[in-house]
A and B are shown apart, each in its own frame.
Chain A
Amino acid sequence: MFDHTLNDEQKMLREAARDYCDKRVRPNAEAWDHAERVPDEIFKEMTELGYFSLLCPEEYGGMALDTMAYAVVHEEFNRASAGLGIIMSVHNSLVGGAIKRFGTDVQKQEWLPAMCAGKFGAYCLSEPDSGTDAGSLKLSAKSDGDSYILNGEKMFVTNADYAKFYLVFASTNPSLGTKGITAILVDRDVAGVEVGKPERKMGIKCSDTRSVSFSDVRVPKSNRLGDEGQGFKIALSQLDHGRIGVAIQALGIGEAAYDEALKYSRQRQQFGKPICEFQAIAFKLADMRMKLDATRLMVDYAVRRMAAGERVTREASEAKLFASETANWVADQAVQIHGGYGYMKEYAVERYFRDARITEIYEGTSEAQRIVISRAILAG
């Protein structure tokens, strides 16, 4: 993901995304954070530009970006607004990617062109009592003729209110445990679907997070993604992508915090010279840059191996763990370099510090990553 490792098309896409973010996203990111909302006109504009159809095949109206091109675009948006970044990746990668990989031709025809045209999707996996232990989910889908009847509640659903449909993981056969989990696409306007109040969050505030509850929601069986009982496999198969996605998000936040800290340290004068000329500050900058370069190389490696079709479970977890811990550390140092100003909302580092925190939590906590990595080490 260093410029010199990209091909011309990837470089061009990075430039275009950077340009768009500089003009339309970064200047507004603080206001969206405060409003806890991204305006519809931005979504409309971004949809027209293709930013909500990045991974979708061309035949369905998508941009069909390769894995690396997607990664660099994703980084640019997360550098500008991590809240917008997660809105995009839930739609493009988690939901769109699952339909692309597991949908039938008929389902792809039904859902993908609509998604490209701005019908946002959300991913409903977590429940009040099912977080890291995703296999313990309780939301039930009972078979009734050609339909399923859904009952239960999902938590921490990103895009819940922006979305027009949900990819819901439900238990069709509780006695089978994880093998009884099934993935079902549910339109938001079906009777019995209720979207909860917005969660008030520490960071990524312009992304919308809510509970979504389902009471006697009737969904045709033709909305089932994959086979009955294949849901957990679908969820797991999305994990490597999802983790690399969060690693890139963390990298973007870290880069943004570093940029601000470097700029500030060059301008801010104390004791008669710019503070970057004091070793106390210069050494912080050196460590920040070094860890971000290491993060970039780990992410790059995972992306390239995934693009080559290899299994990257360990690499994705390592990239995510390293990137998210680095982002938090870098953002903290960036606040420190800004001193009192860094604690104020006029300076973007305050937001980066809050945004970075989620990257150690979602798509598997840092603790879950360490479990994955140590298992791979001990199996080797």
Chain B
Amino acid sequence: MWWNPKVEEFRSEIREFADRVVAPAGDRMDNASNFEPDLLQQLKDRKYLSMLCPAEFGGPQSDTLTYAVAVEELSRVCGSTGITVAAANSLGVYPVNAFGNADQRRMVLPGVGAKGDVIVFGLTEPGAGSDASGTKTTAVRDGNDWLINGGKCFITNPHFAEWIICTAVTRPGMGAKGISSFLLNKSTPGFSVGKKENKMGLRGSDTATLHFDNVRVSNDQMLGPEGEGFKQFMKTLDGGRISIGAMALGLAQGAFEIAVRYAKNRVQFGKPISEHQAIQFKLADMGTQIQAARHLVYHSAYLKDLGKPFAKESAMAKLFASEIGHQCTYQAIQVLGGHGYNSINRVERHFRDVKLCEIGEGTSEIQRIVISRHILKEFDQLIEPSHHVSQALASATA
């Protein structure tokens, strides 16, 4: 089961760092719309940016549960830090390690393990959001090389990147099966990072466009077989959703703690507002929802660590955690009243930050598509044998 002393030990260790270092930086970074280089370096030094990197390359090789707790605890005080760590691991380290061949892994992962090199995942395009088959970026064969042209948007961490994974159409007209992915260094000629996006929340986190102008990569830089790009990022996102769920969980938990502290101290009508049922019941609902979200997030991580199917569960974890994250941060503002609307108390930042969790790595609508497809598939598998039997019986008696 998920509650074990090792995980809780890790939690208190990272919580100490989060409260001492990340929380104050979080306030500044949201204001300045900039991730502080010093904090980035500390995340690298403490190996939080490379948690999923295997030990053979010098990484901590954390299990998914521990990693989810890390994202949760960082997000509890700063969503921008949470997403920076989540994207670097789930969308960077994971696909290189899972889909890269031995040479590619040897080329990239030692730098990740030793000094926290950041890998960036370029999938989304202006015309390809939920429907990635609308990808317009192309890679055209040129001898033993490929020439990549196009652009990506809403990409996390590109200004910190050492390596980039990008998806491109290599077989036009084949839809999802025509998409392949490539691995390239940031210094490759023709590749550039555009200007930063101006966002509602997660303002400290780095989000920008990627541009590919006749970027020449060798065939050896293709990640996995040609045409597997779509399959790869579907798998990548299955895991990534656990960390977005963990991020929403942490943001909710952080706002909840602020609301509890405030409610105990704020006196109105002659007593702390925590003694009014109107406030008590909000806190009870928040606490219960957060606990339910925590179970779903940890359960999906636990299944992944056991090597069991977890795609339906990670979609549920992300969907539920992000929706209760929205509700809890909203109610936290309500508990604080005018003080909640004031940025100094952080809850309004959590409210802005958590909105991303209902959008990034698949919107809530996409999660419901994923979950319902799994449900219906499981149902059909369950009834099919008996269905075949009755068909066989029918034809036998006919």
A117 at the interface (CB under 8 A from B): no
Bound CA–CA A301/B295 (angstroms): 9
Residues of A within 8 A of B295 (CB): 294, 297-298, 301
The DSSP consensus for interface residues of chain A is helix
B287 at the interface (CB under 8 A from A): yes
What 1/0 mask marks residues of chain A from 276 to 309 whose CB sits below 8 Å from any chain B CB?
Answer: 1001001101110111011101100100100000
A282 contacts B376, CB within 8 Å? yes
B35 at the interface (CB under 8 A from A): no
B285 at the interface (CB under 8 A from A): yes
A373 contacts B287, CB within 8 Å? yes
A276 contacts B274, CB within 8 Å? no
Partner of B1, one of A282, A283, A304, A374: A304
B281 at the interface (CB under 8 A from A): yes
B368 contacts A287, CB within 8 Å? yes
Residues of A within 8 A of B367 (CB): 286
Residues of A within 8 A of B379 (CB): 262-263, 266
Bound CA–CA A289/B295 (angstroms): 15
B287 contacts A298, CB within 8 Å? no
A281, closest chain B residue (CB): B372
Bound CA–CA A5/B295 (angstroms): 14
Residues of A within 8 A of B1 (CB): 5, 304
Bound CA–CA A375/B281 (angstroms): 10
A292, closest chain B residue (CB): B316
Bound CA–CA A4/B299 (angstroms): 12
A370 at the interface (CB under 8 A from B): yes
Residues of A within 8 A of B264 (CB): 378
B284 contacts A370, CB within 8 Å? yes
A286 contacts B292, CB within 8 Å? no
B280 contacts A378, CB within 8 Å? yes
B296 contacts A294, CB within 8 Å? yes
What 1/0 mask marks residues of chain B from 294 to 329 whose CB sits below 8 Å from any chain A CB?
Answer: 011001000000101000010010011000000000
Residues of A within 8 A of B368 (CB): 279, 282-283, 286-287
Q: How far is the CB of B290 from chain A (nearest CB, A)?
A: 10
B296 contacts A297, CB within 8 Å? yes
B293, closest chain A residue (CB): A294
Bound CA–CA A291/B284 (angstroms): 18
A235 at the interface (CB under 8 A from B): no
- Please judge, given known A-B contacts A286-B371, A286-B375, A304-B1, whether A318 and B288 are in contact too, CB under 8 Å: yes
- Count CB-based A-B contacts (< 8 Å): 104
- Please judge, given known A-B contacts A285-B375, A290-B371, whether A369 and B292 are in contact too, CB under 8 Å: no
B287 contacts A377, CB within 8 Å? yes
Bound CA–CA A321/B285 (angstroms): 9
Partner of A318, one of B260, B291, B296, B319: B291
Query: How big is the A interface, by class?
Result: 35 or more
Query: How big is the B interface, by class?
Result: 35 or more
Bound CA–CA A70/B156 (angstroms): 49
Bound CA–CA A367/B281 (angstroms): 8
Q: How far is the CB of A294 from chain B (nearest CB, A)?
A: 4
Bound CA–CA A297/B321 (angstroms): 14
Residues of A within 8 A of B284 (CB): 321, 369-371, 373-374, 377
- Please judge, given known A-B contacts A287-B368, A370-B280, whether A266 and B376 are in contact too, CB under 8 Å: yes
B369 at the interface (CB under 8 A from A): yes
A320, closest chain B residue (CB): B288
Residues of A within 8 A of B280 (CB): 370-371, 374-375, 378
Partner of A378, one of B283, B292, B293, B308: B283
Bound CA–CA A369/B379 (angstroms): 35
A283 contacts B372, CB within 8 Å? yes
* Most chain B CB inside 10 Å of its own CB: which residue of A4, A5, A287, A374: A374
Bound CA–CA A321/B292 (angstroms): 11
A262 contacts B283, CB within 8 Å? no
A353 at the interface (CB under 8 A from B): no
Which residues of B line the A interface, CB within 8 A? 1, 3, 260, 263-264, 274, 277, 280-281, 283-285, 287-288, 291-293, 295-296, 299, 306, 308, 313, 316, 319-320, 365, 367-369, 371-373, 375-376, 379-380, 383
Knowing that A370-B285, A374-B274 touch, tell me 19 more A-B residue pairs with CB under 8 angstroms: A5-B1, A262-B375, A266-B379, A279-B368, A282-B376, A283-B372, A286-B367, A287-B368, A293-B299, A294-B293, A294-B295, A294-B296, A294-B316, A298-B291, A301-B3, A370-B280, A377-B260, A377-B284, A377-B287
A to B CB contacts below 8 Å, 22 in the list: A5-B1, A263-B379, A266-B376, A266-B383, A279-B368, A282-B376, A285-B372, A285-B375, A286-B319, A287-B368, A290-B296, A290-B319, A293-B299, A294-B320, A295-B292, A297-B292, A297-B296, A298-B291, A373-B288, A378-B263, A378-B264, A378-B280
Which residues of A line the B interface, CB within 8 A? 4-5, 262-263, 266, 276, 279, 282-283, 285-287, 289-291, 293-295, 297-298, 301, 304, 318, 321-322, 367, 369-371, 373-378
The 7 closest A-B pairs by CB, nearest first: A297-B295, A282-B372, A374-B280, A286-B371, A373-B284, A370-B284, A286-B368
